[in-house]
Amino acid sequence: MRRAFQRCKETITRMVGSHGRADPSILDGVQVSLPNANPTEGPTKSRLQEGPSYNIREFATIGTRDGSLIVTCFDPSTVKHVERAIYTAELGLSPQRLTGEDEEGVLNIPIPRPTSETRAQLSKDISKICENARVSIRTARHLAQKQIRSDEKRKVIGADEARTEMKGIDEETKKQTAEVDKLYEQMKARIEQN
């Protein structure tokens, strides 16, 4: 039950915290794949295949400037792969290559300001995540109750102990559900405030 709440809290905090702000942590989940040439196909049939994926921070530093993210690649030859990884991460971001001698290997990612539509969509997404957390909490309660009934039938625990355990599970379920509801209301107010 606690794990469901913690997962919900982490996900929602990350979504709301970075909404409309240039926060480098937005790109934490981006994985960059470098293509590998397949040598077994022969020189004429050599094709590029996707290689292993690495975190974006292994290829570049991420900073902020003027409400935009600035991604500076360590090796300018990897810019194309980093740019593709940001596009395929489906974050709704559009990286743009900066031109100039000093800015080789640098991507500028403007962060769009939130509109009423994006706020409404974020609110819906948060509502779904919270509902999934509530369902996970209820499922955990159901499984625990089932285990207690099974233990009671097999005479592992007595009837009094089973009632006490059931009561404790119900209290924990109410507590965790209330925490999810409180988190939802806090984040909804934060979205509307921005």
**3-state per-residue secondary structure call for the chain:** CHHHHHHHHHHHHHHHHCCCCCCHHHHCCCEEEEEEECHHHCCCCCCEEEEEEEEHHHCEEEEEECCEEEEEECCHHHHHHHHHHHHHCCCCCCCEECCCCCCCCEEEEECCCCCHHHHHHHHHHHHHHHHHHHHHHHHHHHHHHHHHHHHHHCCCCCHHHHHHHHHHHHHHHHHHHHHHHHHHHHHHHHHHHC
User: Where in the sequence of the chain do the CATH 3.30.1360.40 domains occur?
Assistant: 21-110
CATH fold for the domain made of 115-193: Topoisomerase I; Chain A, domain 4 (1.10.132)
What are the residue ranges of CATH 1.10.132.20 in the chain? 115-193
Whole-model pTM above 0.75? no
Fold of 21-110: Gyrase A; domain 2 (3.30.1360)
- Give pLDDT tens digits for 99-109: 777 778 889 98
Q: Tell me: the pLDDT tens digits for 51-69?
A: 688 888 898 899 988 888 8
28 has pLDDT over 90: no
User: Quick check: 43 pLDDT over 50?
Assistant: no
